[in-house]
Amino acid sequence: MTLSNLIVFLFLLLVAILYRHFANKFNIIDNPNERSSHTIPTVRGGGILFPVAVILWWVSFDFLNTWMVLGLVWISVVSMLDDMFTLSRKLRFGVQFLAISMAFYDLGVFDQKAWWVLPILYFVALGIINAINFMDGINGITGLYGLVFFGSLLAIHEYMPVFDENLIQYIVLAILVFLIFNLRKKAFMFAGDIGSISLAYLMIYFLVQWYLASNNWTIILFLLVYGADSFITLGQRLIRGENVSQPHRTHLYQIFANQLKKDHVLISLVFAVIQIGVNVIFFIYPQSYPTSIVAAVILIATALIYLMIKFPLIKRYQVFEK
């Protein structure tokens, strides 16, 4: 059984409307605090659309990639509970590790890669999950970045058909529906942990699938913009001896939103446009990959540009001052 994209879109739109009603009724609300970038209570957990879309694809296409889907269900359920309550970090980490293991098993990672590669893959995967979760802080940023990521994968699929095109299309439709409620000055819904973490899980799945097919690490540039803001900010907080598991407002996008008072949607669009520029210039247009040297230069140059922008703002607004 296959469903047309229009039917899938309308079904997911209905799910979003029903979920918003349910969340308001049961108080699944993100209330602003001193570390928030929003000012009004907003429904949390709208990213439930992403696992729903994948499950719909799974049912529609003869239950393919069941281990990956089971991992997604595990990680989404725990993330949803974390949106509603506060779960221990050990439980969240354990479920993330289990879900990633299921995705790796589904892809055949354990059969294709040497044992010493596995810790590296787990480290990168867990880092991506938590980085994307921390980056989900202003309207549109996660949805637009996810749209750029999966839309670019569809373009890559045209010359390197290693992905399931239908699965990517279902995910893109879920993101588009979510953006209807999120990409606005006053969002109707936030993705919540279930949204950012499930989307990160799916990104990891496709990146690892791509890596197994190409054996090229430079594909990590697909996460260049998020990676720069996430990992450089993490490094700065570690140097300062801060508790990196606690919420904060020291990402560059947060400084733009909170100190510079820039529009959330504009910031999200700029981040997305920069990333799609990287994807087009280095992957989609040449239909190849940047060399390791070129990729290393891009990473270093991005870090330097990022710091050149951020350091003056940190000094001006005393962002890290307690």
Among 35-39, 67-71, 136-140, the minimum mean pLDDT is found in: 35-39
Pick 87 or 48 by higher pLDDT.
48
**What is the pLDDT averaged over residues 98-121?**
96
For residue 305, what is the enclosing H or E element?
helix 292-317
DSSP 30: E
Res. 36 pLDDT band, cuts 50 70 90: low
Read off φ and ψ for residue 7, nearest 5 degrees.
-65, -45
Q: pLDDT digit string (tens) for 238-288?
A: 888 888 777 788 899 999 998 999 999 999 999 999 999 999 999 999 999
Q: What is the mean pLDDT of residues 115-125?
A: 95
pLDDT for 35 equals: 55
What burial letters (b/e) apply to 269-299, b meaning 16+ CB within 10 Å? ebbbeebbebbeebbbeeeebbeeeebeebb
Query: In this predicted structure, what is the pLDDT of residue 232?
Result: 94
In the prediction, which pLDDT does 51 show?
A: 98
- 141-163: pLDDT as tens digits: 999 999 999 999 999 999 999 99
* Mean pLDDT value across residues 183-208: 94
Mean pLDDT, residues 90-113: 96
Separation between Cα atoms, residue 244 and residue 314, nearest integer Å: 18
DSSP, residue by residue, 200-214 = HHHHHHHHHHHHHHH
Taking only the tens place, the pLDDT of each residue in 127-140 is 999 889 888 878 99
pLDDT recorded at residue 117 = 93
